[in-house]
Structure 1
Amino acid sequence: MTERVSVGFTGGRGGVCGLSWGQIAIWRAIQRLVPDDASLNMSWVTALEDEGVSFGTPLARITDTVASVMARHESLRTRVRVDDVHGPQQLLARDGTIEVEVVDATRETAAAAAKELQRRLTEPAFDYAGEWPLRVGAVRVDGEDVVTHAVFAICHLVTDRGGLTALVRDVLAALAGRPTTDPPDRQPYEQALHQASEAGRRQSDKALRYWARHLAAVPRDRFGTPDGPPRFVSVTLSSPAGDRAVSVLAEREQVSSSAVILAAAAWQLARQTGARESVLQVIVSNRFRPGLADSVGPASQDGLCVVEVGDDGFGPVIGRAMRASMQAYLHAQYDPVALDTLLADLGDVDLSCSFNDRRFDAQTPVSAAAGVTADGIRAALPHTTVSREPVDHYGARYFLHVNAVPGTLDLTLFADTSVFDETKVEEHLRGIERLVVAEALRVLDATDTGSADTEPAAAEAPV
């Protein structure tokens, strides 16, 4: 049996204003994917008893949780309206009513019922103007007032990966009967008002001056003429040996593992396109900025990262990639509409290459190389796997994702094979693995023989 329970909520304020820059970035991503925009929806199931959150939980605890988080986080009560004059605007409601879908099951079938409920709540695209960007469900067992599973599905406009952690934390606290009372970090509505102010304009202008200086390095024709309409493939390489090698290089250079992987990708891309520099857009969370660490709202934007590869060895490129990424991070808050104007003035600039490290701890310096040996890296090499699948469409010609797989360098490359030959996609990923492995083995072998480090020779990594 399914029941729908209405939950009222009241927040602190309501109003109408433009989207924040982070919201614009997500809104554009959604529009590019229509009619497949539901693929950006996010969801999770909390098994209350199995996860030790609460026991014998009444349905009222679920409805109280929903009312609490709806009141606390303005993005959960924000819808988006598009009009011909102002474009997309956020409509923040002060109060309202939301439904919780309750499904009855037995204790034996509760977990399966929760998974099915998650699927039903997550699959449909949201009605961005007419629906709250949160869907909630609960599994009640054995005809009692006991809920064993709570299900949450949210629209990507609510937040990005960085803000999802704060939202889940607040949900779990409320489900445990201890709702968070500390003031939340900056809300999207407040962020949008700040960004529309004079101070916000100055911040955007500073970032765009950086973009203008470095866009000159972006090639106008990076991959050559397409051999037909765009067609996409997704290839994933999983390499335990690569993960060990990256940790060795990150510790040697005292940089993040993300910088090592970015450097290897930049090296491969430069070699494959015949350039001395690699220009990639990197996804920047912006969570290091004041007031945004735990903000439940979209804050991520693209940063422009220009990595000089040159003709010397791979070692120096790692340091240059780290410095280039830091500059990209510092200049990744700007008005996307103003960037559109800048790009239009510059003409045909190819920004079709992107890099996204999906790991939460990607920016922390790595000291996990203790115990890694050359023999261990060599022994792990046969365990590398590669998988592929076709993709209907994608928003970039080259998009490299670093996936959160513990103990493994896990890379997924989405590529447009009309300009990036399909046979070269796997080779590109294997070239990244070969590059980091060869450099790490050089470092470890030199250490094992007691040799002092010498200037790295130019690495060879076929593309």
Structure 2
Amino acid sequence: MTATLVEFSGSRGGICGLSWGQVAIWRAIQRMVPDDAVLNMSWVTDLEGEGISVGTPLSRITGTVRTVMERHESLRTRVRAGDDGTPVQDLAAAGTIEVHVVDATADTAPAAAKALQERLTAPAYDYPHEWPLRAGAVRVGDVVTHAVFGICHLVTDRGGLTALVRDVVLCLRGEPLADADDRQPYDQALHQQSAAGRRQSQKALRYWSRHLESVPLQRFPAERERPADEPPFWAATLSSPAGDLAVPLLAGRHQVSTSAVILAAAAVQLARQTGAREAVLQVIVSNRFRPGLADAVGPASQDGLCVIDVGDDDLAPVIGRAMQASLQAYLHAQYDPAALDDLLATVGAARGGEVDLSVSFNDRRFDAQTPVAAGGAVTAEAIEALRPATTLKWERVEHYGARYFLHVNAVPGTLDLTLFADTTVLPAAAVEAHLRGIEELLLRSV
């Protein structure tokens, strides 16, 4: 493997505090250390196989890297400790980045691209010193067959990655990019430090305060001693083709998003297993609906507080409540994380305990917030026939940043749910009961 140096020059540099979205991801990274490399993201583009370009020279790859480095300040931003020890973003006006080049044959190129992807993804980032973008290419003779990219989660999130990949693909095709007018992370941080930003944060935290002063402090009845043969965390993934048919049918019936349907089922099952009458979860909010953030590559996601009244109800009446609660969470998910820390400390002191916010829900699908029409061609019999196709897979996990974290994965043709669970509050039997209970609620409601 060789390395080609690419010089880039942006319009400005500077140092300022982190934006709220950067702080949120920085804290997630710190909770995962020393396993923070699992948060790294990467992708491979098969240039000819995906119809991007044919006979692509290496200069097209290096030009693409130069363009996105200059266009997106997030990719020129490194995070280091400031003079007072708090993290700051250090935006470079110019620099040099390596593009790693692997030579292969036509037969070995796909495997070489996969190996290069693993090499660019596996190491944790050196946050103060390393550029957050890693780039590579697989070359057969004089033609590049695959472009490979790795990126640090600290400088983007799911919505930002979509915008970045779009620009990369356009550059690889040799097409021009539209003018970029979305807010850069540096500008976002300065806005959030302004009087207008503080007012926005205060409004969001008033919403948090109203809920935190009334909901139970703890999410789980009691911890148990972990048996010696159990890992600290289980990661269990339930894949349900039947659920994939049931969810949009229920979403159409109730005229809500498919995400709200899954959230409601998780809330009902969580409340039943913990003996609560309401589910208190943090939902990951992209904030991309806000002005200037739709196509911004910098991180904008933050946790939103979602409180869903479950009571003794079955799933159907909870679906609408879940939609309403999640909308309120979305609207109040831009705030100063340090101010939230102060609020949690104040509420905890007043109520004589620590506020538990260790239950989270994250819908990783890109189209999950769009209401869908009822699936008229789908029948209950067709759904029931797919029940036997459900699978459950397990993974032992040594370290994770939450006691309960349910991810909805983007897997075509199946409702794919991964639950990370602290085994001191949810042993394996409870994890399985939770995931299968969500599926059962959905299928029975159909």
Q: Give yes or no for TM over 0.5.
A: yes
> 1:84 offset after TM fit, Å?
5.1
Give the aligned length. Answer: 437
Matched, 1:379 2:385: yes
**Gapped runs of 5+ residues in structure 2?**
349-353
> 1:368 offset after TM fit, Å?
5.3
The answer to whether the 8 A contact 1:72-1:184 is kept is no
The answer to whether the 8 A contact 1:358-1:401 is kept is yes
Aligned residue number for residue 104 of structure 1 = 103
The answer to whether the 8 A contact 1:53-1:175 is kept is yes
Residue aligned with 1:8, SS: strand
Choose the corresponding residue for 1:166, options 163, 166, 172.
Answer: 163
- How do 1:381-420 and structure 2 match up within 5 A? 381-420=387-426
Letter of the 2:169 counterpart: L
The answer to whether the 8 A contact 2:13-2:91 is kept is yes
Letter of the 1:134 counterpart: L
Aligned residue number for residue 458 of structure 1 = none
State percent identity of aligned pairs: 72
- Alignment partners' CA distance in 2, 1:86 and 1:221: 32
> 1:219 offset after TM fit, Å?
2.0
> 1:96 offset after TM fit, Å?
0.8
Choose the corresponding residue for 1:150, options 124, 147, 165.
Answer: 147
- How do 1:23-422 and structure 2 match up within 5 A? 23-83=22-82, 85=84, 87-142=86-141, 145-228=142-225, 231-347=232-348, 348-367=354-373, 369-422=375-428
- Alignment partners' CA distance in 1, 2:164 and 2:104: 27
- Alignment partners' CA distance in 2, 1:77 and 1:21: 18
- Alignment partners' CA distance in 1, 2:357 and 2:26: 19
Letter of the 1:281 counterpart: Q
The answer to whether the 8 A contact 1:217-1:277 is kept is no
Letter of the 2:154 counterpart: L
> 1:201 offset after TM fit, Å?
0.3
The answer to whether the 8 A contact 2:268-2:314 is kept is no
**Worse-matched range after superposition: 174-183 or 300-309:** 174-183
- Encode CA deviations 1:348-372: one digit per residue, 9 max, x unaligned: 1111111111110000012251211
Letter of the 2:195 counterpart: E
- Alignment partners' CA distance in 1, 2:379 and 2:96: 59
Letter of the 2:115 counterpart: E
Residue aligned with 1:298, SS: coil
> 1:211 offset after TM fit, Å?
0.2
> 1:139 offset after TM fit, Å?
1.3
Letter of the 1:163 counterpart: G
Letter of the 1:73 counterpart: H
Cα root mean square deviation, aligned: 1.3
Letter of the 1:178 counterpart: E
> 1:5 offset after TM fit, Å?
1.1
The answer to whether the 8 A contact 2:219-2:280 is kept is no
Residue aligned with 2:213, SS: helix
- Encode CA deviations 1:179-230: one digit per residue, 9 max, x unaligned: 3141241111110010001000000000000000011243223323322368
Residue aligned with 2:321, SS: helix
> 1:265 offset after TM fit, Å?
0.7
Higher-Rg member (1/2)? 1
The answer to whether the 8 A contact 1:118-1:152 is kept is yes
- Alignment partners' CA distance in 2, 1:306 and 1:17: 34
- Encode CA deviations 1:69-114: one digit per residue, 9 max, x unaligned: 1000000000011135150000001111111111111122111111
- Encode CA deviations 1:230-278: one digit per residue, 9 max, x unaligned: 8210111111112222222111110001111111111111111111111
Letter of the 1:24 counterpart: V
* Change beyond 3 A, Cα 1:252–1:181: closer
The answer to whether the 8 A contact 1:41-1:155 is kept is yes
- Alignment partners' CA distance in 2, 1:397 and 1:219: 16
- Alignment partners' CA distance in 2, 1:224 and 1:310: 17
> 1:121 offset after TM fit, Å?
1.1
- Alignment partners' CA distance in 2, 1:343 and 1:397: 18
